[in-house]
Amino acid sequence: MPNIESITLENLRASNETSFGHGLVYHFAIKQNGVSLDFHLKQFFKGKELSFHFFDDFEKLVTICQRHQINVILVGGKSDFFKELELIQAIKQNVFLSIIPVILYHPEPSNETIIAAYENGAEDFIHGEWIEKLVEVRIQRVIARSIRDLSVNPSTRLPGPAMIEEEINRQLAMKATFAVCYADLDNFKAFNDYYGYSFGDKLIKLTGRIIRDTVFDTCREGFVGHIAGDDFIFIIPDDLISNVCGWIIKCFDAFAPNYYESEDIERGFITIENRKGIIESFPILSISIAVVSNSTRQFGHMGELSKILAELKRATKQLPGSNYMVDRRKDH
């Protein structure tokens, strides 16, 4: 069961936080042995709010990255770096962690170690004398490149369409049993037009956080992606559909009204003029989730699955309020 109190606190903070280079809090996941990376970071990020998340093993790192929007994973030490290189390889093989930049630090690494680090996917390897300003610039450039990565949604920092398709194709190739859930918001355009882009963006971030926290609290091996706008995809085991979708709806319905003015909540709807000049009324935002599982039918490719999801989403959005609908049709 997801921790609703945790989600509440996370989202209250999220409204005041943005990603590195554009906001207030810089999140670093750090593994260090014999070096003090956090000390150096404090020196050249003076005046900035830093959040350090320390880990010793891969499992702890996974938990940290599922709960926080980590900007960079930093790994530093003075050892032979064999375990560190294995860690980098594991990070880059994980579809969720692979989008986070990894920077290594070693005071005197061998050339073979540096080469192996880059071969295993490290974005940068800092070594030798620690020159504060130079290291700061290198870290900033690594994060800037990550933000520009078109495979990651810049608002929610969740995997985008390319990585969503890659994950679904991976699951199909493995012949795994799974459910693909397509979530989007009902009447979001009206809300965005009425309250403006800033409120719309905050609501998108709220939705992404609710889905991400619920999926990962319930299912460690789950996947969450952000297609664009108010459209999200998450992949979970078939037997968790009811639990995960139910909690997402419950959380969304509890938190979304906080983004409305009190008079609009009391009235139960907002009014806005459409493109034809006609005043229309729109109820308080709700969320619709279309679910397709391969437990009862098989899918040969992504296009087939996408078509069924689109059909089911249209049907789900015809229902009032927040709902999820599962396609249980069987192959004949």
- pLDDT, one tens digit per residue, over 1-35 is 555 444 443 443 343 344 444 456 889 999 999 88
Cβ pair 230, 185 in contact under 8 A: yes
**Is the pLDDT confidence value at 150 over 70?**
no
pLDDT confidence of residue 138: 86
Domain ranges of the chain: 20-147, 161-327
Q: Which residue has the higher pLDDT, 138 or 9?
A: 138
Give the span between the Cα atoms of 43 and 22, in whole angstroms. Answer: 20
What integer is the mean pLDDT of 255-278? 91
Give the position of tokens 């290189």: 85
CATH class of the 20-147 domain in this structure: alpha beta
Q: What angle do CA 200, 155, 274 make, to 5 degrees?
A: 25
Q: Mean pLDDT, to the nearest integer, of 164-169?
A: 88
- Pick the residue with more confidence: 2 or 316? 316
Looking at residue 258, the DSSP 8-state letter turns out to be G
**Residues paired with residue 272 on neighbouring β-strands, in sequence order:** 280
The single residue listed with the structure tokens 């070693």 is 106
Query: 137: Cβ–Cβ under 8 A, 6 or more apart, which residues?
Result: none
Measure the CA–CA gap between 296 and 178, rounded to whole angstroms.
Answer: 11
According to DSSP, residue 285 is labeled P
Q: Dihedral through CA 280, CA 286, CA 292, CA 296, nearest 10? A: -110
CATH fit for domain 161-327, picks 3.60.15.10, 3.30.70.270, 3.40.50.1820, 3.30.70.890 = 3.30.70.270
Cβ–Cβ under 8 Å, residues 187 and 280? no
As to burial, measured by CB atoms within 10 angstroms (0-12 exposed, 13-18 middle, 19+ buried), residue 251 is buried
**Minimum mean pLDDT range among 95-104, 236-245, 272-281:** 272-281
pLDDT in tens, 224-233: 999 999 999 9
Tell me: pLDDT of 332 over 60: no
pLDDT of 319 above 70: yes
| Most distant CA atoms of the chain, gap in Å | 71
- Which carries the bigger pLDDT value, residue 329 or residue 283? 283
Confidence class of residue 148 from pLDDT cuts 50, 70 and 90?
Answer: low
Among the listed ranges 169-183, 204-218, 293-307, which one has the minimum average pLDDT value?
Answer: 293-307
Is the pTM for the entire model greater than 0.85?
no
Portion of the chain with pLDDT greater than 90, in percent: 56
Asked whether 224 and 232 are in contact (CB, 8 A), the reply is: yes
Cα→Cα distances 104→35, 185, 280, 292, 331, Å: 12, 40, 56, 41, 50
Q: What's the CA dihedral at 161, 165, 171, 177 to 10 degrees?
A: 70
